[in-house]
């Protein structure tokens, strides 16, 4: 027996496959000469909402495991890691936006 554990066919679908499609974020679309359907601030609000949803889902899963309502510890850990990576990515994007803004402000007119 493997010391790490085995994956039975019953719960094999619970693990995300590497070739599974990733969730997509709706980006603003526009054709030349028309106004975009979604603004930049709304796109950022959508990303923040997605990160918040991932975090709350992960917290709910962890709460269920801690209270004994669920025995899927691995799913809880995976959800927490997904939320952590999403939050880290959001912070890095924010840092790049702030850095870009500061660079624009330093430009000579």
pLDDT 10s digits, 95-105: 999 999 999 99
- CA dist 94 → 19, 23, 85 (Å): 29, 21, 14
Please state, in angstroms and rounded to a whole number, the distance separating the CA atoms of residues 59 and 79: 8
In a domain, 98, yes or no: yes
Could you tell me the pLDDT band of residue 3, with boundaries at 50, 70 and 90?
very low
In a domain, 55, yes or no: yes
In a domain, 59, yes or no: yes
Q: How many structural domains comprise the chain?
A: 1
In a domain, 57, yes or no: yes
Please state, in angstroms and rounded to a whole number, the distance separating the CA atoms of residues 84 and 22: 16
In a domain, 13, yes or no: no
Q: Which range of residues forms the domain containing residue 88? A: 38-106
**pLDDT tens, 28-87?**
565 666 666 778 889 889 999 999 999 999 999 999 999 999 889 999 999 999 999 999
In a domain, 15, yes or no: no
In a domain, 21, yes or no: no
Instruction: For residue 16, give both structure tokens.
Output: 């995300």
In a domain, 32, yes or no: no
């Amino acid at each position: 027996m493997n010391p790490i554990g085995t994956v039975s066919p019953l719960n094999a679908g619970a693990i995300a496959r590497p070739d599974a499609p990733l969730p997509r974020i709706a980006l603003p679309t526009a054709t030349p000469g028309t106004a975009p359907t979604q603004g930049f601030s709304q796109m950022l609000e959508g990303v923040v909402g997605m990160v918040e949803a991932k975090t709350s889902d992960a917290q709910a899963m962890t709460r269920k495991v801690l209270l004994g309502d669920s025995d899927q510890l691995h799913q809880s850990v995976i959800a927490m890691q997904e939320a952590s990576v999403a939050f880290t990515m959001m912070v890095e994007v924010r840092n790049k936006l702030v850095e870009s803004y500061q660079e624009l402000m330093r430009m000579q007119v």
